[in-house]
Amino acid sequence: MKKVKIIDKCPACNSLLERVNDQLFCRNIDCISQNIKKVEKFAKGLKIKGLGSKTIEKLNIDYIPKIYNLCYNEVEDILGKKLSDKLREEIEHSKNTDFFTVLGCLSIPLVGKQVANKLKPYVTKLDDIDLPLCNRVKLGDKTTKSLLTWLDNNKSIFKELPTYSFNSSSSSKKEVRFICCITGKLNDYSSRAKAIEVLESKGVEVKSTVSKKVDYLICDIENSTSSSITKAIRYEIPIVTMKTFLKEISNNE
């Protein structure tokens, strides 16, 4: 039986590998292979067609902001005029992406689309993302630490990227018509983030806690011990299901 030799250095950058639970990890933040993968994930998340792994390697894009600082004369020499023009168009179009889509595509450990969507209703500028907010939206200790540590070390990256809107395209065109709060699980939605996205598209502002400013409490599964329901009853706030609420506001459109 032939023995398999376990490597101890990264094939891409020659850094020593760290073994964790029988898996090997390269911890070099400048590893070219890892950086190319980050660029690839970013391009895929922002739907930049034509910027796959092979093209990224050909253009030597090893840092996400380089996507927006390409010399298209050089790109044309490498890819040809037709592909160069198409790529330029795709990259320009990606500048219209909202901040939260970008945040979920930056390869921040434990931070993806779902985490970004949790933050979306409460963030209007980068500095809004802090410990109290992360605790408020219940990101969890590990995710919170990962996000805040990454921002502390990499916040300058946003100065090199385009200025992204803090409003998604679906919600930015809508005026706030109602203020709501959600409690408990919703029958027709796999996550609260998806429900919030639907509500925001209808001009609804979603708060994390019940107060006198809230117009409706959305609740599909009644729970008499819920503090949100107790507050809603105290403040005489109507308690409705998601389906009923959407039907009601549709009738008023």
Where residue 233 sits, what CATH number does that domain have?
Answer: 3.40.50.10190
The predicted structure's pLDDT at residue 18 = 76
**Is 50's pLDDT higher than 70?**
yes
pTM tops 0.75, yes or no: no
Q: Is 165 helix (H, G, I), strand (E, B) or coil?
A: strand
**Is 40's pLDDT higher than 50?**
yes
Asked whether residue 62 is domain-assigned, the answer is yes
Asked whether residue 3 is domain-assigned, the answer is no
Q: What is the mean pLDDT of residues 20-47?
A: 83
Asked whether residue 247 is domain-assigned, the answer is yes
Tell me the per-residue pLDDT of 179-207, one tens digit each, with 9 for 90 and over. 999 998 888 888 888 889 889 888 888 88
The predicted structure's pLDDT at residue 175 = 60
Q: What is the mean pLDDT of residues 147-171?
A: 83
Domain identity same for 185 and 226: yes
The answer to whether the CB of 228 falls within 8 A of the CB of 181 is yes
Amino acid type, 119 = L
Domain identity same for 80 and 112: no
Please name the residues in contact with 238: beta carbons below 8 A apart, sequence gap of 6 or more.
Answer: 215, 216, 217, 232
Asked whether residue 206 is domain-assigned, the answer is yes
Please name the residues in contact with 187: beta carbons below 8 A apart, sequence gap of 6 or more.
Answer: 220, 221, 241, 242, 243
Token pair of 16 as six digits: 């020593």
Asked whether residue 5 is domain-assigned, the answer is no
Asked whether residue 214 is domain-assigned, the answer is yes
Domain identity same for 226 and 190: yes
Compare 3 and 81 and report the one with higher pLDDT.
81
The predicted structure's pLDDT at residue 12 = 66
Domain that holds residue 61: 32-94
CB-based burial label for 206 (10 Å; 0-12, 13-18, 19+): buried
Domain identity same for 190 and 237: yes
- Specify the number of domains making up the chain: 3
Asked whether residue 16 is domain-assigned, the answer is no
Domain identity same for 43 and 82: yes
Tell me the per-residue pLDDT of 100-128, one tens digit each, with 9 for 90 and over. 999 999 999 999 999 998 998 889 899 99
The predicted structure's pLDDT at residue 173 = 43
Domain identity same for 198 and 245: yes
Tell me the per-residue pLDDT of 222-243, one tens digit each, with 9 for 90 and over. 776 788 899 999 999 999 999 9
The predicted structure's pLDDT at residue 171 = 40
Confidence of residue 135 (pLDDT cuts 50, 70, 90): very high
Tell me the per-residue pLDDT of 66-93, one tens digit each, with 9 for 90 and over. 999 999 999 999 999 999 999 999 999 9
Domain identity same for 202 and 155: no
Asked whether residue 218 is domain-assigned, the answer is yes
Tell me the per-residue pLDDT of 165-181, one tens digit each, with 9 for 90 and over. 887 444 444 566 789 99
Domain identity same for 133 and 78: no
